Every structure is written in structure tokens, then in C-alpha cells.
Structure 1
Amino acid sequence: MRLGIVTALFAEARSLGLKKPRPGQTHALGEHLLVRLSGMGPERAALAARQLLDDGAQALVSFGTAAALQPELRPGTLCLPHEVLWQEQRWAADESLRSRLLAKLPTQRRWQVCGRPLLTVGEACVEPQGKEALGRSHGAAALDMESGAVAAVATEAQRPWLAVRAILDPLQRRLPKAALGGVDAFGRLQPRVFLGLLSRRPQDLPVLMVLGRDLEAASTSLRRAAECLHAGLDA
């Protein structure tokens, strides 16, 4: 089975082994994977998902990082949700694909996998109070901006789909403005904007440094999952 992987950010694409991802282009990685760098947000993700199906993908995977909506989820926790909540609907992941990936993941101490629902939203939520409220009202474990749109495209096309997400920021962390406003839609640093935002809130520098450490934890989990995807999820 050839998997079409939608990933929003350059850092996420590199976790798949894609060294020089190009937005708007489908990349073939071996015989099992097609990858498309979408940029952040559901509209971009839906566009990339449709293009992957046109390019021959037989199933879709939403791949990348997520924000925790529950206090026990730490950076690096891998989310393989049974369902994604998006636009007031519940989109069920393909249990066969999910089970096959889960069976291939390494078994080791401190390796955590969460199967609880993932919530997709159209805009990033940066405040702990807002994230806590979303988790409570939707019963979701984590938050992203792409998986729901990928699920909707796959369902419309009657293709199986799967979400593979690693926790980047924990529930109680407030994301600094420089972390979002200082990058473009693909997560590339915009130095002038980033430094301008940081100069207004220099107290955010320690949080940004911790965020970098947690990105490595999330990337490590994504790389482990990517190794399994490269091997294929055929029955």
C-alpha cells in the first residue's frame, strides 16, 4: 500500500527523512511513501491530501506535532488517535492501519502512545486556559490544525487514513508570540520578525529554548514512527 503523507512543517518533513522538502511538490520516499509539505492549517492540508490521492496514494496519513490538551501528555508522547474531531464531526481512523503501525513500533521503557481523540482547529491555541477548555469540552487529548482536513478528504474519497502526531508543547505552556509569529506557514524562521517579537518580550527566551528541546523529543518520536511507515503497513 502506498501511503500519502501530509506534513505541515519543514521540521516534520525532515523527521520522515526528507532532506530538502519543497512546498507544492510530491516527493517519493522509497516504494511505500509519497510526501507533500502542506504548510499549517486545514485548507492547506486538504489541498495537499487531494493532490497526493491524484498522485497515486492509496491511503492518507496526517503526520507531525500536536499540542497537549491533557496534563499527563508530555513532549515526545506519540498520538495515534482512534478518531479526530473536526467541524463538529467525529472522523474514525482506519483501525487496520493503526494496529499495523502500533505493532511495528519499538517496545521500550518510557515509550508512550496515546489513542485518545485528537481535536483539529483552524487557528493555533496558545494559552493554557484555552487549551484546557478545549480538552474538557471536546474530551480530546491533543490538538492540531491539519488532521481533520486530511480525514475529511480521505473519507470523501473512500480511502483509509491515519493520524500520527507527537506532542510538542505540554498543556500548561503558553506559546510565545515569537514561536508562531516569527515563522512562516512552513515553520521557517523569519529572522527579522522573530527578533522584533522577542525584543518586545525578552522574558520569552527561556521558554523558546525549552521549546527547542521539546521539539527534539517530538522529532525523535516522529522519526521512530517514520521508520515503521517506510517499512510499509501492508497486511
Structure 2
Amino acid sequence: MTTEARIARRTGLPVACSGADPYAVAQRLLDEGAAGLISFGIAGGLAPLAPPGTLVVATAVAGDDMTILASAAWRRALLNALPQARAGAIAGASRPAVTIEDKADLYARTGALAVDLESYAVARACRERGRPFAVLRAVADPAGRALPPAALTGLDGDGKMAPGAVLAQVLRDPGQLIGLCRLGLDLARAMSALNAAARAFPRGFLGLDPLQSVGDVA
């Protein structure tokens, strides 16, 4: 998350890390006067044809209880600035989609292009406060690749790398090393895509009229 935040600052917008409780952070930002929120970072791929580095601009965020539509105006602005991006739903999850089977099941249920752990919390907080939101994510691990267990212990509570935890996992199961190397390459592609997107971010974005997309539920 700290790397994602560093890249996000290149958009020129204020940035906050979601941490362990993205809903609480989203509420705080809105209470402090944020005009709306953008969920920015990496995601897990769900669609078969969404390789690492695919940029996704959300049309909506699908949660367990409802699907919340993103700002139509903000989505159009992002897609105009980022013609390589794909528009589609993002699935919001409370835990990572680890296995290929997990991803296939989530794709079958939601039709979402990708999944992350923060966007639904952002969408819900914005809907409750009547504020617009957008989602810009880059696919890291694709639908056809499982996450190695060591990757799930590789971050601390502040979103910083915890190399000691990763090393301990690899020592217990050296077979994960190949999967971690592949994940490293996937992450590099995702971060490169995010960096390019941040540099091409539409100027005056927050001044755009979010139109009729505030709080809409599909």
C-alpha cells in the first residue's frame, strides 16, 4: 500500500493509505471534507483475458449485499485519459481470492474484471454520505494464477513489506519461491501500469460534475 500511495501522489491529488480498516479511513476522509474518493492500487484478476498490468476503471463495485455504481462522469474522464484501460465491475472482498478456484467462483458470481479489498468499503462510505467515487486498479495476479501462501504474510498492518515473514514461509516451503518470483513480475507490471496512469491522470478531475451517480445501487 505504501508503494501504491507513492505512485498515487503523482496524480496531484491528496492521498491516504487505507490500512487495515478502509471503511473507517474513507469515513474520516469524507468527514474532513473530501468531495469524493478514488480507490487506487492493485487488484487480483478475475476475468480470463485480464493479464497483469491491465488497468480497470470500475463501472460498479459488487459486494456481498449490493452493487454500487461508480460516478459516470469520473469514469468517463478516466477512460478518456487512459484509453488502454478497461471498463467493468470490480468485486469487493473481505479476504484475498487466493486460489484459481476462488477467482473463478467470484467471476462467475459477479462478472467482475478484478477484485480488491478496499473498493467496496470506499463505495459504501461514499454512498452513505452522498459523495461520488471512482475506482482505478491495475491487475497484478491474473485469474489463472494462485497466490503463494508467503505472499499473504508479506505485508504488515501498515501495508509495508515484511521480508522476515516471507523468508520464514519460504524456508518452511521452498517450493513457493517460483510462485513468488512470478508474483514479483506480475506486481512489477501492475505498478508500471499504475505509474503510467498516475502520470496521465486527468487534470481538474475533482472539479468534474459527478452527475447522477452518487449513491446509485444496481
Is TM-score (shorter-chain normalized) higher than 0.5?
A: yes
> Could you give the per-residue CA deviations for residues 193-212 of structure 1, whole angstroms, max 9, x where no partner exists?
21110111111112211211
CA contact (8 A) 2:57 2:78 kept: no
- 1:15 aligned partner: 7
Q: What are the within-5 Å matches in structure 2 for residues 97-176 of structure 1?
A: 97-105=74-82, 107=83, 111=84, 113-176=85-148
Structure showing the higher strand proportion among its residues: 1
CA contact (8 A) 1:118 1:143 kept: yes
The equivalent position to 1:49 in structure 2, one of 26, 35, 38, is: 26
Amino acid of the structure 2 residue aligned with 1:35: V
Q: What are the within-5 Å matches in structure 2 for residues 174-213 of structure 1?
A: 174-213=146-185
CA contact (8 A) 2:41 2:136 kept: yes
Moved over 3 A (4+): none
Q: Offset of 1:229 from its aligned partner?
A: 3.8
Supply the distance in 1 between the matched residues of 2:203 and 2:183 (Cα, whole angstroms).
Answer: 30
Instruction: Give the 3 Å change call, closer, same or farther, for CA 114–175 of structure 1 in structure 2.
Output: same
Secondary structure class of the residue paired with 1:37: coil
Overall identity of the aligned pairs, in % = 36
CA contact (8 A) 2:81 2:202 kept: no
Matched, 1:36 2:8: no
- Which moved further from structure 2: 51-60 or 144-153? 51-60
Q: CA RMSD in A?
A: 1.7
Amino acid of the structure 1 residue aligned with 2:130: Q
Q: Offset of 1:192 from its aligned partner?
A: 2.5
- Which moved further from structure 2: 198-207 or 220-229? 220-229
- 1:216 aligned partner: 188
Return 5+ residue gaps in structure 2 as ranges.
209-218
- Which moved further from structure 2: 205-214 or 87-96? 205-214
CA contact (8 A) 1:67 1:170 kept: yes
Instruction: Give the length in aligned residue pairs.
Output: 207
> Could you give the per-residue CA deviations for residues 21-67 of structure 1, whole angstroms, max 9, x where no partner exists?
xxxxxxxx85xx22111125xxx111111121223210111111111
The equivalent position to 1:73 in structure 2, one of 50, 70, 80, is: 50
Calculate the TM-score normalised by the size of structure 1: 0.82
Supply the distance in 2 between the matched residues of 1:175 and 1:133 (Cα, whole angstroms).
Answer: 15
Supply the distance in 2 between the matched residues of 1:15 and 1:63 (Cα, whole angstroms).
Answer: 9
CA contact (8 A) 1:126 1:175 kept: yes
Supply the distance in 2 between the matched residues of 1:197 and 1:180 (Cα, whole angstroms).
Answer: 10
Secondary structure class of the residue paired with 2:194: helix
Higher relative contact order (CA 8 A, sep 6+): 2
Q: Offset of 1:218 from its aligned partner?
A: 0.8
Supply the distance in 1 between the matched residues of 2:90 and 2:117 (Cα, whole angstroms).
Answer: 10
